[in-house]
Structure 1
Amino acid sequence: MTADTLTRREHRSAARAAKTRVHWVVLVAVLVVLAAALVVHGYVTAADPRSGTAAEDTATDQVPAEVTDGGPVIDPRDGGVRTAAPAQRTVALTFDDGPDPRWTPEILRVLREHDATATFFAVGSAVADNPGLAREVVAGGNEIGVHTFTHLDLGAVPAWQQNLELVATQRAIAAATGVSATLFRPPYSSTNTAVTNDTWAAIDAAGADGYLSVLSTLDSKDWTAPGADAIVDASTPTGAAGSVILMHDGGGDRSQSVAALDQLLTQLDDRGYRVTSVGEAIGVEATNPSASWWDRVAGWATIAVVRTSDLVVTALTWALLFSGIVVLLRAVLVMGAAIRHVRRVRTPGPMLIPITEPVSVIVPAYNESAGIAAAVRSIAASDHPVEIIVVDDGSTDGTADIVERLGLPRVRVIRQQNQGKPAALNTGIRAAQHELIVMVDGDTVFEPDTVRLLVQPFADPKVGAVSGNTKVANRGGLLGRWQHIEYVVGFNLDRRLFDVAECMPTVPGAIGGFRRAALEGVGGVSSDTLAEDTDLTMALCRDGWRVVYEETARAWTEAPQSLDALWKQRYRWCYGTLQAMYKHRHAVRQRGAAGKLGRRGLGYLLVLQVLMPLLAPVVDVFALYGLIFLDPARIIALWAAFLLVQLLMAWFAFALDRESPRPLWSLPLQQFVYRQLMYLVVIQSVFTALAGTRLRWHRMERYGSLQQVG
């Protein structure tokens, strides 16, 4: 081998490694973006709905007397404190918490009808949601001011958050209206005498940023919905002094505010009051100067982020709903199908002649020295006549020698150069002497009646293949228990469903029976995919053969005992299944048995084994979002309901398989650890398939635990 050849191989290996790393970068990037969007949405909505309360601060010892005894417009700029009030018989009308798509247009309509203007202190998140309404406010000759981004009590948060609230709102206003805002109203504020130390701190900090703060002299208390007449009474000046009236155009049902406004403006007009905005009422010009291009650009970016976060949360909500529906439907579907399957098995049907003819058992083996002796001995001990063909596919650990030293009758060993499992199986098929063929992995142990029970469904001439019941032999430790649960609950329940629906996609390599004519009809075992058992089963279905599940035919197999070994095994399975699904995708358009496989079997695999695992990380991220920003009790209740469904389905599956339910105590832990590992396997498999990377064969490590079973 030359140095150039080694260099080329190293380059190809590095390229494959780079491709397989890219999808993890993409996954992390997607999750980071999702998390960022959720944090933005959580921040905006958690403090917003404008129905919260202010911090309980009552101290006033730090509030300047100029504020307590002064006018409602406060200017703390330049280190001093000045206040102002509207002129005599002048009312500055103000509205908080909008813009609201339902009530702001109504407020604007009433103002136009009375030829009046007002100042709207806008919540930044509402501006981001309704930029057109903010433009309409300004276009109508009204002022717009800052009311924070999330209606947060600024006196109760650190300086960085105060600045964030003001800057984000300013930029949203700039993007929506093209102007800047110089007026600010602290949330939860009312009159000057109600200013606390915390409120004053927020006003003073806003002044340092160039804002005039606007309080009120008359609080309509329309947010308490006391009725239109009560709102009018609270908002009506009692003398000739100028007033600043506080009302709301957002934050809830403002129908009473709209009705009261019409009455109030009529009365004020009759009494000769001038109704206008804050700036005009106190003689301050240019309260809404033109915004800089940077503020506009930054504002549109802010709006885009908020809107994107809304879309993300909406999409995640639908994804969560979809996942929940699928989980419930699957539970109902598989449990209903399992009951029907049990009834069909236990209900006597047409008397079929028992299968007594000899069976050829093919054992493909590559470096199976740890368990091959136990496997062959168990098959040789069958209570059904068998010939055993062990195809040694280029083993380097003496696998073939071990079998030959057993000296068992009716056992043949065929040695060949390493060509892969499909080639070994095809070699065994050609050498088999009987019509019925059983294929079994070299790490699998049969019970004495396994072969006999497995081949009985072949009494029906329409049956081309039979799947047996695979059991995990090494169930010790959490990983072993979790795989045991997966085999019983996932694989075997699904096989009952596939049997009833006549769309079995996989006869497992650990235990499968086949009719020779069926195998020859599809050209034997294909090497097109890494899941040769799934590929073969789908080919048989498309060729018109029935594939059934025989739950009483049990085979014991070794499961991976480390996360690395489990990852490699499931990665190969999942990738091979994706290959087989793509290869047989045209079955969706076919009729008969092929159509059942395509529309039922492939559809089920696509939703449950591809889409759901791809959605799983998103659902988990959203669950964390719910625990932090939504109602944790509700999220925990939903999770508990999901877990209860899983437990009920698991208990049912264990009862059907006559298994002890004791391992089910580990099911909650499985949902937190094992499930995440499985969906990461699917994600890697999907990205690998989309990247066009050719995955090499991963052989599982053997542990020799089957010696005890055998």
Structure 2
Amino acid sequence: MSFAPYGRDANPDKGQATTEAQIRSDIDAVAPYTKGVRTYASTGGLELVPRLAAEDGLKATVGAWIDKDEKRNEREIANALDAARKNSNVVGIVVGNESILRAEKTPDELIEIIRKVKSQTNVPVTTGETWDVWLDHPELVSAVDYIAAHILPYWEGVPADQVVDRSIGIYERLRAAYPGKRIVIAEFGWPSAGYNRDGAVPGELEQAKIIRTFASRADALGIEYNLIEAFDAPWKSFEGSVGQYWGMLDANRELKFPLTGTLMPATYTATAAIALLLGIAFSIPVFRMGRLTFTQAAVMMGAASLVGAWIATVTDYWLTHYVVGGNKVTFVASIVLLVPLVVVMLYRVEELATIAFGRTPKRLLSAAPAASLPTRTPKVSLHIPAYKEPPDMLKQTLDSVARLNWPNFECLVIINNTPDPAYWEPIEAYCRELGDRFKFINLPKVAGFKAGALRMAMLQTAPDAEIIGVMDADYVVDPNWLRDLVPTFEDPTVGIVQAPQDHRDAGKSLMHEAMNTEYAGFFDIGMVQRNEHDAIVVHGTMCLIRRAAMVEAGDWSSDTICEDTDLGLTIVERGWKSHYTNTRYGWGLLPDDFASFKKQRHRWAYGGMQIIKKHWRRMLPNGGTRLTASQRREFTIGWVSWLGSESVGALAAILSLLWVPFVLGLGIAVPARILTVPIVFCFAIYLLHFTALYRLRVATTPVRMIGAAIAAMAVQFTVAKAVYDSFRYKDLGFARTAKGNWLADAARAFPALPEAVIGGGLLLSAVALRMTNWHAVVEIDLFAFALAVQSLPFLAAAVIGWLEGSTLNAFATWSALRSRALALLPGRGTVAPEAITEKVRS
């Protein structure tokens, strides 16, 4: 056996010498399995091996390491010759190891060294080279006493079931080329772990079968051979993914497989047991959930079992692989990043199973309009804050309020921080024109932004108003909004009734239609499911709040920039119930452009992080609130699902991109498949979740659904940046806007510039890895595919950024193209373009 007596944590490449005690212990470990050992050097303590091997009756083939360091070469040769003179069990001296293959020496230079060594000893002298070098250099064969051929079919990409036949065949070729010459297969082996190389797939069972079969065949044919190697070598991480795993014994000096009898993976039973136990443990919460159907429960338990199997596999990998140095950092960091993604995957599977196979929602308010006004009509005070809003738009909002089918309401229009009279004077006059129900409030300078304005409005709210309604200044409301929803407050425990947002300008462009459909997914899917747990996200338009609940919660707070969600959560924490309807009662205006869409999403995500910082302690079991376990779970997982998955996903993509140069330039191994497959799998679950739930819950078309998916992915980096900003800036108002440099100007000209750069880099990296994967390594292909998947959210942003400035963004362009295409068909004349539906209502 090739023998490198270094401890598990030693690294001879850093000049660490071995010790006599280590050598003696390792000799004892291999003695039961071999007749001799081969070393590759005679310095650093290895010169002691022959003497200690003799104590256990083992022969020794002594190596002299040869490279470009001539002084070391002299020491190596001198020590090897000395060992041969002093120890009768030395049966050969190997001068150099693949010195020609590594271009350390030319054949002539090596031959000269071999001749000098031969002149000083009677022990047979040779050099170790791969079999093809021996075939190419007959002059080298003439210079040595015997051929020491290295036959390692793994490096040639030979499939495991062909390895032994090929190796014996190579031996026969050497015999035919050099008849009568003694031939020793000086290196033969197979790695027990690592990445494939073409058709060569490492593995512990493959190693066992190959070694056992080869040894049997070689012994029968009388072939002399040396197995590489005695022990796994954790320090050989520089030899690619397989360098550490060629040993017959592992780094703990335990035999890796039985030399006879049945073969099975050493850790199979333990890993399977762990997977089973974890699957059961993760499935326990499923049994505690109520109103589950059999299929729904089966899908959720299947996902839980799958995660249990993955964790068991990761554990097995950690325990059976030598994860050291930079690999350890990469492995641990990857697991840390993958955990929230896996949690989100489980949540999405749960939501998918609930909607696709579960029962009909029971808390969703009926979409059927009220037949008539209720007996009791409590007073509603509608609050419309406005900051530099176009007067004509705000007048449309007020007109719709004036048409409300509710006899007992007032409307407060709160103009705040808007000094230009062109914005507020027309509104003041219009409120007088609409009558006493409409109160105009002008706050030229108020602290706390929207929350501050709403707090001031509460001071001027009618004393007998029981319910506060909040609307955005751009919303046109349905006349039956209050008539249908206010009766819900007859239950004295109800504190909030929320209706969804919708928009009336989705027909403006393809981009606007994609944005509107993306919004619809949240209100028709996520909000409906959260409502089942009484854990909705309150948003500050189309929202009705019981005044008493608002007062108890402390009124509007300026602690966060999402004051509506903050207040809603605080109210629910105090035990008030919330209800939701997905019936549309109001339609506003979409963000004007992609930059505004991103800015809005950044504000929501940044505000969400502020809310997490403010409320996270209240999510604990003893958090001092009246939240139920189900509510705490829903709020927590909701935050992780949105903010966590988006930020971790973006961070993982960027780290993957930064890793690529090391893979391409330095040949550093790509992440193991247990780290890349989850990325691809989670994305597949995301696509399944998105597609299935949109088909089941959102009234839209497949084309619009694709647009919504692109719009949803396009803001991943924006959300991630907001999460980062929440740690960087205490208050978003203090975030400095970059000015006066070309990069900032370019970003303003193309709002998706960072995403385009990152997405392009990820996609090009994926292509580069795939094209340079000369040996079809599966892990490289998986990593490349994962990079391509990770590029999609960034490229989605770039696509929308490009589409916004393109004529293809206009519906008129597509209508014209459709008409031209139809006109080219035989027998078809000019066809009038179909009208574009402005919005989809559910």
- Paired position in structure 2 for 1:116: 36
Specify the SS of the correspondent of 1:332.
helix
Task: Give me the whole-angstrom Cα distance separating, in 1, the residues matched to 2:600 and 2:594.
Answer: 10
Are the counterparts in 2 of residues 470 and 556 from structure 1 also a CA contact under 8 Å?
yes
- Paired position in structure 2 for 1:511: 542
- Paired position in structure 1 for 2:710: 669
**TM-score, L = length of structure 1:** 0.59
Shift of 1:429: 2.4
* Superposition pairs of residues 13-24 of structure 1, within 5 angstroms: none
* Superposition pairs of residues 199-278 of structure 1, within 5 angstroms: 225=161, 241-245=181-185, 248-251=188-191, 252=202, 253-259=206-212
Task: Give me the whole-angstrom Cα distance separating, in 2, the residues matched to 1:303 and 1:586.
Answer: 37
| Deviation readout 1:558-590 (Å, 9 max, x if unpaired) | 221223222322222222222222222232234
Q: Of the candidates 643, 651, 654, which is equivalent to residue 695 of structure 2?
A: 651
The letter of the residue matching 1:392 is I
Shift of 1:116: 0.8
- Paired position in structure 2 for 1:418: 445
Shift of 1:545: 0.7
Specify the SS of the correspondent of 1:472.
coil
Specify the SS of the correspondent of 1:245.
strand
Specify the SS of the correspondent of 2:37.
coil
Shift of 1:432: 2.4
Shift of 1:635: 8.9
- Paired position in structure 1 for 2:520: 488
- Paired position in structure 2 for 1:76: none
- Paired position in structure 1 for 2:424: 400
Shift of 1:623: 8.8
Specify the SS of the correspondent of 1:340.
coil
Task: Give me the whole-angstrom Cα distance separating, in 2, the residues matched to 1:648 and 1:139.
Answer: 69
- Paired position in structure 2 for 1:599: 632
Q: Taking structure 1 as reference, are residues 694 and 448 closer, same or farther at Cα in structure 2, changes over 3 Å only?
A: same
Shift of 1:250: 2.1
- Paired position in structure 2 for 1:438: 469
Shift of 1:378: 0.9
| Deviation readout 1:542-567 (Å, 9 max, x if unpaired) | 22111111222522122212232223
- Paired position in structure 2 for 1:477: 509
The letter of the residue matching 2:645 is M
Q: How many residues align?
A: 513
The letter of the residue matching 2:479 is P
- Paired position in structure 2 for 1:616: 649
Q: Taking structure 1 as reference, are residues 664 and 249 closer, same or farther at Cα in structure 2, changes over 3 Å only?
A: same
Q: Taking structure 1 as reference, are residues 578 and 117 closer, same or farther at Cα in structure 2, changes over 3 Å only?
A: same
The letter of the residue matching 2:416 is D
Q: Taking structure 1 as reference, are residues 393 and 521 closer, same or farther at Cα in structure 2, changes over 3 Å only?
A: same
| Runs of 5+ consecutive residues of structure 1 not aligned to the other structure | 1-92, 122-134, 147-161, 169-181, 204-211, 279-290, 699-707
The letter of the residue matching 1:383 is N
Shift of 1:334: 5.9
Task: Give me the whole-angstrom Cα distance separating, in 2, the residues matched to 1:348 and 1:566.
Answer: 33
Specify the SS of the correspondent of 1:551.
coil
Task: Give me the whole-angstrom Cα distance separating, in 1, the residues matched to 2:129 and 2:576.
Answer: 76
Task: Give me the whole-angstrom Cα distance separating, in 2, the residues matched to 1:507 and 1:428.
Answer: 19
Task: Give me the whole-angstrom Cα distance separating, in 2, the residues matched to 1:106 and 1:118.
Answer: 13
Specify the SS of the correspondent of 2:445.
coil
RMSD: 5.5
The percent identity for this pair of structures is 19
- Paired position in structure 2 for 1:367: 388
Q: Taking structure 1 as reference, are residues 572 and 145 closer, same or farther at Cα in structure 2, changes over 3 Å only?
A: farther
Task: Give me the whole-angstrom Cα distance separating, in 2, the residues matched to 1:139 and 1:367.
Answer: 90
Specify the SS of the correspondent of 1:523.
coil
The letter of the residue matching 1:405 is A
**Structure possessing the higher relative contact order (Cα contacts under 8 Å, 6 or more residues apart):** 1
Task: Give me the whole-angstrom Cα distance separating, in 2, the residues matched to 1:230 and 1:523.
Answer: 81
Shift of 1:257: 4.9
| Deviation readout 1:603-622 (Å, 9 max, x if unpaired) | 12331122111221255469
The letter of the residue matching 1:682 is V
* Superposition pairs of residues 510-529 of structure 1, within 5 angstroms: 510-529=541-560
Task: Give me the whole-angstrom Cα distance separating, in 2, the residues matched to 1:138 and 1:602.
Answer: 70
Are the counterparts in 2 of residues 590 and 598 from structure 1 also a CA contact under 8 Å?
no
Task: Give me the whole-angstrom Cα distance separating, in 2, the residues matched to 1:581 and 1:663.
Answer: 33
- Paired position in structure 1 for 2:603: 572
Task: Give me the whole-angstrom Cα distance separating, in 2, the residues matched to 1:228 and 1:661.
Answer: 55
2:731 maps to 1:694: yes
* Superposition pairs of residues 256-405 of structure 1, within 5 angstroms: 256-259=209-212, 304-309=325-330, 311=332, 321-333=342-354, 339-341=360-362, 345=366, 356-370=377-391, 371-385=393-407, 386-398=409-421, 399-405=423-429
- Paired position in structure 2 for 1:27: none
Task: Give me the whole-angstrom Cα distance separating, in 2, the residues matched to 1:308 and 1:220.
Answer: 31
Shift of 1:375: 1.0
Deviates more, 1:338-347 or 1:553-562: 338-347
Are the counterparts in 2 of residues 443 and 558 from structure 1 also a CA contact under 8 Å?
yes
| Deviation readout 1:625-669 (Å, 9 max, x if unpaired) | 9999899999989856642431221222313xxx56652242453
The letter of the residue matching 1:533 is D
Specify the SS of the correspondent of 2:419.
coil
Are the counterparts in 2 of residues 435 and 515 from structure 1 also a CA contact under 8 Å?
yes
Q: Taking structure 1 as reference, are residues 108 and 660 closer, same or farther at Cα in structure 2, changes over 3 Å only?
A: same
- Paired position in structure 1 for 2:580: 549
Specify the SS of the correspondent of 2:414.
strand
The letter of the residue matching 2:35 is D
Task: Give me the whole-angstrom Cα distance separating, in 2, the residues matched to 1:382 and 1:598.
Answer: 34
Task: Give me the whole-angstrom Cα distance separating, in 1, the residues matched to 2:212 and 2:132.
Answer: 22
| Runs of 5+ consecutive residues of structure 2 not aligned to the other structure | 9-24, 42-47, 54-59, 66-97, 105-125, 192-201, 229-234, 245-322, 665-669, 736-837
Q: Taking structure 1 as reference, are residues 335 and 520 closer, same or farther at Cα in structure 2, changes over 3 Å only?
A: farther
Specify the SS of the correspondent of 1:530.
coil
The letter of the residue matching 2:439 is R
Task: Give me the whole-angstrom Cα distance separating, in 1, the residues matched to 2:628 and 2:678.
Answer: 42
